[in-house]
Structure 1
């Protein structure tokens, strides 16, 4: 299981990446993160909602009302143009971070 602290700075990347494909609601995003993680990480609802509110507050995502397939009202989120730009920056940052850490763990793992 991946420690949540190790991913703290990259929860936004996961959310923005999901929303890059299509608008979604929080519960569905949590399921998608768990599915992609294949059991190695499970996001807490409080972490997800905090990130969504922060991203909405900075204009990187916007919320809108909608309904789930069952007809239940949901708050959906979609990526803004600023969010697309942030995703690009964060992905570049991730590559640099990964490359730096790889230099230190090379040959250990």
Structure 2
């Protein structure tokens, strides 16, 4: 699998990515891991250790809750679900992301349009 996206660019958005997956339905760790790979078009793989650290943090902060599933497929799985507070946090993070994306786009690709601001004028 090609990791075409720098981990540095993703860092800080891990929680929002997990909340996005969970707002689509309850899921367990390995399934969330596979969903993130699929959502990225196989361009990004979130390390499992990072994922489980984020689960603990999100649960401690009240954004997700966990529960044990039944034993239909061998072992019991720990499932995660997003809470109402988690949905609010996801919406806020998404709003912040859109704002930051627009500002970064201007900073990286933009040019100064005003002639008075050009050096030497």
**TM-score normalised by structure 2 residue count:** 0.83
- TM-superposed CA distance for 1:70, in Å, is 2.4
* Higher normalized strand content (fraction of residues): 1
SS at match of 1:94: helix
Which residue of structure 2 lines up, in the alignment, with residue 61 of structure 1?
Answer: 64
Please, which of 11, 17, 35 is the counterpart of residue 14 of structure 2?
11
Higher helix fraction (1 or 2): 1
Alignment RMSD (CA, Å) = 1.4
Q: Counterpart in 2 of 1:97?
A: 100
Q: Distance in 2 between matches of 1:106 and 1:55?
A: 34
Runs of 4+ in 1 over 4 A off after TM superposition: none
Count how many residue pairs are aligned between Structure 1 and Structure 2: 107
1:1-109 correspondence runs (5 A) = 1-67=4-70, 70-106=73-109
**Structure 1, unaligned runs of 5 or more:** none
TM-score (norm 1): 0.92
